[in-house]
Structure 1
Amino acid sequence: MSTSLSRPRRRTGLVVAVVAPLLLLPVLVPLRDRLNLASDVALFLVVVVASALVGGLVPALVAAFLCATVLNFFFTAPFHEFAVRDGNNVVALVAFVVVAVMVAWVVDLAARRAKAAAAAAEIEAADRLRTALLAAVGHDLRTPLAAAKASVSGLRSPGLVLPAEDRDELLATADRSLDRLTGLVENLLDMSRLQVGAMPVHLRPVALGDVLARALDDLGVAPRGVLLDVPDDLPDVLADAGLLERVLVNLVANSQRFSPPGRPALVSAAVMGAGIELLVIDHGPGIAATDEERIFLPFQRLGDTDTTTGIGLGLALARGLTEAMGGTLLPRETPGGGLTMALTLPVSQEVGP
């Protein structure tokens, strides 16, 4: 008989079905003169319900059979015989068996429906994710690819003589577009690895300042494009240098995107207890308190009206990579308006040579 419950739960349900009636016996037999059969039936029905809730249909049927047998042998006259003298007791026992079987069937049916609903919700979530991914790929990946293609096609056009400045501009456009395309594809691949638990993480002592410098170089941040307040004597953090660089790139890029002109993003760091807290601060529009967790969902671009800036994976990927390294990433409101991303990583306990 198929069932929607796991094997350990079915085994536990069988244990309840067999042991519970035996435990009730020494309690109820001395009270046989004070409790009527209706009370005994109600108590044994609880055993059947418990067996059904724990183990499903089969344990509940076993409990119903054992409880009916115990009721007949110990609680209906003549005692200690498989016979029933009073017709009312026959009705009570038959009703007990019918109700017990119905309860077992209803509980098992509810478990099957719950499993089917969970499967349907999983499929619906996968469909939503697939739709969002297709929408993102349909525009955000195609845009830099089209720009690179147009630039290269212009450079290869036969009979078209371009001034050196125009050729350099086309090459620069192609280079920027391909860099964007590479970043988007890497984010998609890393997110898929995180979701299936296949992201390799190599934790070791890492100098936060060095990783931050590489991240800013990757972004091509102009002088004063980001303000830094990172002490030189910070202890090393325990992290994967490559993954931490990806986290910082995504956080700083997101902060720059929303920073108003003349108010660059600020990156600060300080020791907080057994960890180091790095803050990426902007003075942009910020987010509503109700959206603080939504911004970490894939394909979310809350308040971002520039649809060519990415596919909404930056913060989702940043949190996933951070948690894979044993850290935390939380949003805060910037005093005076804006968003602050607080990245916390444990301090390395290894002492350098």
Structure 2
Amino acid sequence: MGGNLSRRRRAAGYAVAVAAPPVLLPVLVPLRDRLNLASDVVLFLVVVVMAALVGGVGPALVAAVLGAGLLVFWFTVPYHTFEVGHVDNVVALVAFAVVAIVVGSVVDVSARRAEDAAAAAEIEAADRMRAALLTAVGHDLRTPLAAAKASVSGLRSRDVTLSPDDRDELLATADDALDRLTGLVESLLDLSRLQAGALPVRIRATALDEVLARALDDLGVAPRAVVLDVPDDLPAVRTDPALLERVLANLVANAQRFAPADRPPLVRAQVAADRPGTVEVHVVDHGPGVPAADQERIFLPFQRLGDADNTTGIGLGLALARGLTEAVHGELVPRPTPGGGLTMVVTLPLEEGA
């Protein structure tokens, strides 16, 4: 009888069905000599419709049965009995019950269709995700794997004599390809853990400059490849340093990819002027930027807007960066860089008492 409506909605519907009809009695009984039965039926029908809209067929039937009983007992002659003395009254009461059932059924069907539509949307989204993942696996993951396989095969080949320099070059190629493959797989696993809520987060007081230094070390940036503007007296923030390190490394790597050679990315940290109790980290590039309409799309998995020439990633960097930022109770938003480019702003809460 409850259809596809939630238990909470059905309970509320039954509450309306039971409580509302008696509430009408003190209003309508003094007026029964001036109102005909049709008017009383319409008012009780409003209660049935309310119960149906809230709880579906079951509450509508309860409201209809209770309403019909009250109508017969209080508003049909002879009063205060369950006899119906006129055929017209019988017809009105039957119509009352039929309308109650129809309205409740319509609400129940609407709820079922809404749930089916939501399920279909989820399936469609999952299918798109699977298709994107298969595309990524078919190219981006296979490319470094093929490079590593070719390098190892060259090293094992007995048909070609390799010099020490050639061997070193093949080993370096294989090592780089496997590093890229490892990074891609780790990003996929981290994103899946984030979506499943299974990524461990350890929040504690953290020195931002230390996390940033480790992130740049992991990237292996050359001198002047990134310009830093981090005050020595910057207060500690509350975050997970390991996850924040991944966020900053992803953002700096993305900025380096698009920044022109003569204008390296800028990483600036400061206490937020307009949001007390927070610190902002700005990762600034002067590249082509991202149109305002696309600024949220860049955080979707497998998106590489304006990066058609890049073949070494599957578009997870920014999606992972935002997910990790939110996991450590921070916020990551894009802003246009004055003069052209894109600025990623990470907002983090200050350590209490800092």
Same fold per superposition (TM over 0.5): yes
Q: What residue number does 1:320 align with?
A: 323
For residues 42 and 330 of structure 1, the distance between their equivalents in structure 2, rounded to whole angstroms, comes to 54
Partner SS state of residue 345, structure 1: strand
1:136·1:311 contact (CA, 8 Å) conserved in 2? yes
Q: What residue number does 1:3 align with?
A: 3
1:205·1:350 contact (CA, 8 Å) conserved in 2? no
Partner SS state of residue 167, structure 2: helix
Q: 1:280 aligns with which of 280, 283, 287?
A: 283
For residues 135 and 283 of structure 2, the distance between their equivalents in structure 1, rounded to whole angstroms, comes to 29
Q: What are the ranges of 5 or more consecutive residues in structure 2 without an aligned counterpart?
A: none
Post-superposition CA distance 1:238-287 (Å, at most 9, x none): 11111001101111111111112211111000011211100001111111
For residues 286 and 22 of structure 1, the distance between their equivalents in structure 2, rounded to whole angstroms, comes to 65
For residues 345 and 94 of structure 1, the distance between their equivalents in structure 2, rounded to whole angstroms, comes to 65
Tell me the CA shift for residue 164 of structure 1. 2.1
Partner SS state of residue 104, structure 2: helix
For residues 343 and 92 of structure 2, the distance between their equivalents in structure 1, rounded to whole angstroms, comes to 68
Q: What residue number does 1:20 align with?
A: 20
Q: What is the one-letter code of the residue matched to 1:189?
A: L
For residues 234 and 219 of structure 1, the distance between their equivalents in structure 2, rounded to whole angstroms, comes to 23
With the length of structure 2 as denominator, give the TM-score of the two structures. 0.96
Q: What residue number does 2:292 align with?
A: 289
Post-superposition CA distance 1:22-45 (Å, at most 9, x none): 112122212223333232222211
Report % sequence identity: 71
For residues 115 and 219 of structure 1, the distance between their equivalents in structure 2, rounded to whole angstroms, comes to 46
1:140·1:307 contact (CA, 8 Å) conserved in 2? no
Post-superposition CA distance 1:180-212 (Å, at most 9, x none): 111111110011011111111000111111111
Q: What residue number does 1:339 align with?
A: 342
Partner SS state of residue 33, structure 2: coil
For residues 312 and 160 of structure 2, the distance between their equivalents in structure 1, rounded to whole angstroms, comes to 32
Distance 1:62 1:2, change over 3 A: closer
Post-superposition CA distance 1:133-181 (Å, at most 9, x none): 1111111111111111111111121243222222222111111111111
Partner SS state of residue 198, structure 2: coil
Q: What residue number does 1:251 align with?
A: 251
RMSD: 1.4
Runs of 4+ residues over 6 Å off in structure 1: none
1:151·1:173 contact (CA, 8 Å) conserved in 2? yes
Partner SS state of residue 143, structure 1: helix
Q: What residue number does 1:206 align with?
A: 206
Q: What residue number does 2:101 align with?
A: 101
For residues 2 and 68 of structure 1, the distance between their equivalents in structure 2, rounded to whole angstroms, comes to 21
For residues 221 and 145 of structure 1, the distance between their equivalents in structure 2, rounded to whole angstroms, comes to 25
Q: What is the one-letter code of the residue matched to 1:46?
A: V
For residues 205 and 281 of structure 1, the distance between their equivalents in structure 2, rounded to whole angstroms, comes to 25
Q: What is the one-letter code of the residue matched to 2:320?
A: L
User: Which runs of structure 2 are paired with 1:226-265 in the superposition (5 Å)?
Assistant: 226-265=226-265
1:21·1:66 contact (CA, 8 Å) conserved in 2? yes
For residues 184 and 46 of structure 1, the distance between their equivalents in structure 2, rounded to whole angstroms, comes to 60
Q: What are the ranges of 5 or more consecutive residues in structure 1 without an aligned counterpart?
A: none
Q: Say whether 1:197 aligns with 2:197.
A: yes
1:298·1:312 contact (CA, 8 Å) conserved in 2? yes
User: Which runs of structure 2 are paired with 1:30-109 in the superposition (5 Å)?
Assistant: 30-109=30-109
Q: What residue number does 2:133 align with?
A: 133
For residues 40 and 282 of structure 2, the distance between their equivalents in structure 1, rounded to whole angstroms, comes to 66
Q: What residue number does 2:185 align with?
A: 185
Q: What residue number does 2:303 align with?
A: 300
2:2·2:56 contact (CA, 8 Å) conserved in 1? no
Q: What is the one-letter code of the residue matched to 2:293?
A: T
Q: What residue number does 2:119 align with?
A: 119
2:207·2:236 contact (CA, 8 Å) conserved in 1? yes
For residues 142 and 104 of structure 2, the distance between their equivalents in structure 1, rounded to whole angstroms, comes to 56
Tell me the CA shift for residue 237 of structure 1. 0.9
Tell me the CA shift for residue 343 of structure 1. 0.2
2:73·2:81 contact (CA, 8 Å) conserved in 1? yes
For residues 66 and 182 of structure 1, the distance between their equivalents in structure 2, rounded to whole angstroms, comes to 68
For residues 324 and 35 of structure 2, the distance between their equivalents in structure 1, rounded to whole angstroms, comes to 63
For residues 122 and 320 of structure 1, the distance between their equivalents in structure 2, rounded to whole angstroms, comes to 20
